[in-house]
Structure 1
Amino acid sequence: MARKVSKGSAGGKRRGAARSAARGNGSRASLYDEVTQTIVTQLEDGVFPWVRPWSKAKASPGLPCNAVTKRAYSGINVLVLWGAVIEGGYPSQDWLTFRQALAAGGCVRKGERGRTVFYADRFTPKDEREQVESGEDARSIPFLKRFTVFNAAQCDGLPEGLVSQPAPLPERELHRAAEDLITATGADFRIGGAQAYYSPSGDFVMVPPQPAFHHQIDYYRTALHELGHWTGHGSRLARDQTGRFGSAPYAREELVAELASAFLCAALGIEPTVRHADYLGSWLAVLRADNRAIFRAASQASKSAEFLLQCQSIEQEQAA
């Protein structure tokens, strides 16, 4: 029978190794070693579920609303319209349909692009309505309506008083070094919606608006994770990004991106509230078959982090 090693002794040795790495020359390489050892320790001490650090329907000041009905939007519509406000730099969060703009005496400017919002409703078929009239229980069918809306700033001729006073988004907690790095990459970086992902086919990154995160600092951990994926494109570091969800190649790519995010957070002085191991634990079952996978991923993550940091260094040199 194999001898069982207590968590205390094994964990102590691993933490000692991490501290030894930290006492190095302070280079990025030793920093990466320290972070990797910490993550390995967390993974070996237990598997934790990953929880999205953002809310799909966060209620907070500055919610978008319909300019005519004054009804606040909710659910996914909040994130879609917040992202549009950020992208367009609009001064308010008043939205209306093309017809509403015309009915109010104004119009949407030619060439302006609207945003699709969704409204949940229920439909009762005719035969079911007849049951209601006879006192019987009726069956209703849920469905989604789609509307295209435009920001008041995209319209001309709207009557005075229709648009409320400027209602900016909740103030963002900016991290200047991270913002500079995101800009320096030149990546197609999009903000909006309720999902964070990198599209290999479209070569763009999408993240929810920062005010939607429970803790705004986690926006940067997520952004850096997706930029980690971005580095793997064929025109950059050319990693295998063809794996399907749940497959070993998919898990390896997720490890690379999350470790790259951990390295970058450490290098930029970002302290996320969401533990990196909580994310990585989701993939541990897939990786147990290869006890060297995390170390290979760490090597690739180092290259990914260096690639992104180099983008920032080049821009700083050019600006000097």
Structure 2
Amino acid sequence: MNRKNRILALLAAVLILGGVAVGATLHAAGRSAEKDRAQPGGPRVHPGEVVLDAPGLSVFRNMAWGPHRDEIATVPADDPAGPRTSSGVRCLRFHAAADTGICLQAVHGRLRDSYRAVVLDAHLRELRRYDLAGIPTRARVSPSGRSVAWTVFVSGDSYAGTSFSTRTSVLDTRTWSLDRDLEEYRFFLDGHLHQASDLNVWGVTFADDSRFYATVATGGRTYLVRGDRTDRTLRTLHTNVECPSLSPDGTRIAYKKRVEGASSDAPWRLYVLDLRTLRESATAEHRNIDDQAIWRDDHTLVYSLPGDYGSDLWTVPADGSGSPRLSMTAALAPAFTG
């Protein structure tokens, strides 16, 4: 083959390879777009008005693939598999009570993402926004809607290990006064004022607008604490409690507990603590739970587990009876309207 023919062959090979690369890219883009449009067999989702003041709704972060993924959506609480109405408001974490919502969002930048907390009204309209110091992980609204709380990771991104740091803030939605870091509260360990550089606070659950429960970690242990915004204190009640959730009647705490013999990557099981006796009992859910459960009512817990879309919602009786049941696929961060 002479020099001219070799050059022509080389050019032909380059053109063929380029065509293959372009074709593969277009095919991948087409597959990605198809995935974004719909997931076969997944939940039906359509855009519409989402409100927090209509009774009998489940409100949650929609995880189904498509244009409405990560948007706050609703279904009738008695028909969790029904068609979803999606709001257009995207949240990484969400909670709502008494016509008030808290939405922790990612703000995508050219060089890096940032995060913010957005307080929403009953029609998901923004009331206030606050910059966050890290990655959102927990959010709660008080039963009256007059206080909200959120937790972010400021280093690390998992509670399973030891090298993480959190920051938890509580906001008064009447005065807009913000306690930016609950680590600044006075911490009483077994009744004694305790100061430690390794203090972490996360997972607020409200009793009312000034009293709450949360997790405090220090010295390699975790504690359930009772917090008071009026006197700015945290007081320990029980050990080995993470991500507490107060029952509607105010008598029990659902939480994730580290159990002996479990993998360090999957250490938690779902328990319930009686606040009157401090007696704890396991639920019938034996899988690893890395979530802050929600009380559907005084008898039923709702929590997330990994699923085909990233997260599914499950329920289990709070008294240890029964068995876990799949409640909703492709959903996260639920709340229930009155």
TM-score by length of 1: 0.27
TM-score by length of 2: 0.26
Q: Which has the higher contact order (CA 8 A, sep 6+)?
A: 1
Q: Greater strand share, 1 or 2?
A: 2
